[in-house]
Chains A and B, each alone.
Chain A
Amino acid sequence: MNVRGNAADRIGEYARRGLLAFVRGLIQAVLAMGVNLPLMILTILSFAFIPLGIGLVMVPIVLTTVRGVANQQRLWASEWSEVRIPVPYRARPENGDRFFPRLRWLLTDPATWRDLLWLVINVPLGFVLGVLAGSAVLYGLEGVLVAPWLAQITDYGWGPFWPLGDYGVIGIAGSIVLGAGLACVGAPLGMAILKGHALFSQSLLAPTRTVLAERVEHLAETRSDTVDVSAAELRRIERDLHDGAQARLVALSMNIGLAEEMMKHDPETARTLMAEARASSGKALVELRDLVRGIHPPVLAERGLDGAVQALALSLPLPIDVRTDVRGRADAPVESAAYFAVAEILANVVKHSGAARAWIQMEHTGDRLVTIVGDDGTGGADPRNGSGLRGIERRLAAFDGTMAVTSPLGGPTVVTMELPCALSSPKTLPSSGTG
């Protein structure tokens, strides 16, 4: 019974694979003829119409559609044949929603042209491979079940696919044996043909070395930005310490020295000097505290992003609704980047937006930290206007993070930031129970 069950399972599995190969092959064939071919013609037409002007409008639309089709093929290749084809396109530029920058972005990307090459070759190749993959099992089954027998009943005869009718019994036996053989290997054969098609697609649709080169360029750029920023930051810290706390400590030790001298013959002046010394040390402490807050806020070290953002929200003079779902701690540099980004945005909210309320939503899902900061102010914030937003963008870019701002005039302003990062498990503090 067990053996029979297994056999039935295996046949079922085989039939499933055969059916899958049939459906997928059919989809590929239909895509090649029904989508690729018209799209190819449209592409040629749109380029031909560029001198007429209408082509300029058509090109971006057609190319975007081609990208959609290519992306669908990438998806199928990985889902059906486990052939991974990463998306190779360049990042959309900042002004990518305007017409000419968008056109430039599409036309200068080598991946666009490789997409088009794929589109053209895939018309015949996708059709033929699709039909082959889809019909392998079906063809075998026809050889066994239909061709030898139908001739007796209908005018269809042996049909065009099994031209063995003239060979009598040998023809019948031949078609059954060959058909059965084909039906048996049809499913894996169909899958193999689909995989072959996926590999062909990969050869044209996957990123080439230029993408790596672009990645290197991006990294070099963000690194030099980061180095510049941290150098400027160090310079600022040095100046703050030099003119601030350090100078105050000098004054302090001077006052104390003087007071020591005065102690015997003028205790009253000594007392005044000591009071001055104390005030001076207090000011030095305040300056150091502000400085430390600017370098790495203590509350961030103590409570992580979650607590630090809540503390930040509480310290500002408007009600801020905070929702966080960050279980665990990110790496310190990432935490710091995310924290200062939020702090900068909230500072903008307080200074410029005229908002009565603001809200923060921070969530770690998958491998990204998504932070959304919104306010009900007057809007009109623009990262291109050299405000602090540009600095945040640069700070985030060092971690491959991104920022998007929507801020129509009249508000509301919503800033969305994404930072790829992993979380370590939450730190468990030793229990402080009785002992």
Chain B
Amino acid sequence: MRVVIAEDLALLRDGLIRLLEAFGFEVVEAVDNGPSLARALAAHRPDVAVVDVRLPPTFTDEGLKAALEARKENPGLPVLVLSQHVEQLYARELLSDSSGGIGYLLKDRVSDVAQFVDAVRRVAAGGTALDPDVVAQLLTRHAREEPLQALTPREREVLGLMAEGRSNAAIAAALFVTEKAISKHTNNIFGKLGLPQSEDDNRRVLAVLAYLGG
């Protein structure tokens, strides 16, 4: 799987390259600023890009802007955005074109290597990987509302993991239950929230996020 990395801190950039290569990814280019990232994305059309929000030359949200721009040219281009902090605002912007293939994670999450690599693979496959912090904020924001009140604590837990972009199998593994139990929960959740059922994992995640983000 071909990856482009954009990260301005050399230590982190080298770490990411080493980590991804150890798990069988091919890092086609690693850049350290916004304009180079735009060029690399257009030139390589990678299977997935791992991008730091803040990049030179402006040290503002250069990386995010470049990623959004590239996805406008090339819809669905899988991008996993990393940052020292997560903002609902950025999550909303990333998810706004609802074409999938989006990840938005705190840099800390890299330390859980297996989970991180799983997130990169998921994004590359057109799925979603949303940071638990973002999801938690989304859920508290809506916690007072009627339909969410109707969910059991377990169902809310499942909803959170679903919003992070995980498949039924992954949720089942995380909660130490069977996949069958999880699919029962998801059916209940979709029923209570009045969302249309969907067998497609990616579409299911986007429906949940659209519900929470709206």
Interface residues of A, Cβ cutoff 8 Å to B: 278, 281-282, 285-286, 289, 292-293, 297-299, 301-303, 307, 310-311, 314-317, 427, 429-430, 432-435
Contact = CB atoms under 8 A, between A and B. Distances in A.
A415 B89 CA distance: 24
Nearest to A435: B39
A427 B37 CA distance: 20
Interface residues of B, number: 36
A116 B87 CA distance: 59
A434 B84 CA distance: 28
Given A282-B111, A302-B60, A311 B88 contact: yes
B141 interface: yes
* 4 interchain residue pairs of minimum CB distance: A432-B38, A314-B88, A311-B89, A302-B61
Residue among A278, A298, A427 having the largest count of chain B Cβ atoms under 10 Å: A298
A432 B55 CA distance: 13
A428 to B, nearest CB: 9
B54 interface: yes
Contact of B140 (A292, A303, A317, A432): A317
Contact of A311 (B37, B39, B87, B112): B87
B65 A432 contact: yes
Given A303-B60, A317-B140, 9 more contacts: A281-B111, A282-B108, A286-B108, A302-B53, A314-B92, A315-B137, A432-B34, A432-B35, A432-B69
Interface string B40-59: 00100000000001100111
A317 B108 CA distance: 25
B184 interface: no
A299 B35 contact: no
B5 interface: no
Contacts of B112: 278
A307 B89 contact: yes
* Most chain A Cβ neighbours within 10 Å, of B58, B140, B143: B58
Contact of B54 (A286, A297, A298, A429): A298
Chain A interface mostly? helix
A285 B57 contact: no
A286 B39 CA distance: 34
B143 A434 contact: no
A415 B34 CA distance: 40
Contacts of A316: 141
Contact of A299 (B42, B85, B111, B143): B85
A286 B87 CA distance: 14
A292 B69 CA distance: 28
A315 B57 CA distance: 28
A434 B88 contact: no
Contact of B88 (A293, A315, A427): A315
23 contacts: A278-B112, A281-B111, A282-B111, A292-B85, A297-B85, A298-B83, A302-B61, A303-B61, A307-B89, A310-B89, A311-B88, A314-B141, A317-B140, A317-B143, A317-B144, A430-B58, A432-B34, A432-B35, A432-B70, A433-B69, A434-B38, A434-B39, A434-B73
B7 interface: no
Contact of B85 (A278, A293, A433): A293
A430 B34 contact: yes
Contacts of B37: 432
A315 B137 CA distance: 7
Contacts of B73: 434
B19 to A, nearest CB: 14
A430 B87 contact: no
Contacts of A278: 111-112
Contact of A435 (B35, B83, B89, B140): B35
B137 A429 contact: no
A234 B92 CA distance: 34
A351 to B, nearest CB: 15
Contacts of B205: none
A302 B63 CA distance: 11
A307 B140 CA distance: 21
